[in-house]
Amino acid sequence: MEATLLSWFREHGRDLPWRKTRDPYAVLVSEVMLQQTQVARVLPRYLEFLERWPTVDTLAAATPADVIREWQGLGYNRRALSLHRAAGRIAAKGWPDDLTELAGVGRYTADAVARFAFDRPVLPVDTNVRRVVERTGGKFGPGSAHALMDLGATICLARVPRCDACPLAAECPSRGRRYAPSRKQSRFEGSFRQRRARTLTLVAERPRRRSSLDHEATESLAADGLVEIRSGVVSLPH
List active site positions: 31
d(CA 152, CA 65): 36
Task: Give the chain's count of helices (H) and strands (E).
Answer: 11, 3
Residues constituting the chain:
238
Cα 194 from Cα 214, distance rounded (Å)? 11
Cα distances (angstroms) measured from residue 178 to each of 137, 153, 175: 17, 16, 9
Alpha-carbon distance of 235 to 65, in angstroms, equals 9
Round to whole Å and give the CA distance between 145 and 115.
8
What is residue 167's DSSP assignment? T
Residues 6+ apart with CB under 8 A from 214: 195, 198, 199
Crossing angle of helices 107-116 and 24-34, rounded to 10°? 140
For 195-225, letters b (16+ CB in 10 Å) and e give: bbbebbebbbeeebebeebeeebbebbeeee
Distance in Å from the first CA to the final CA of the chain: 52
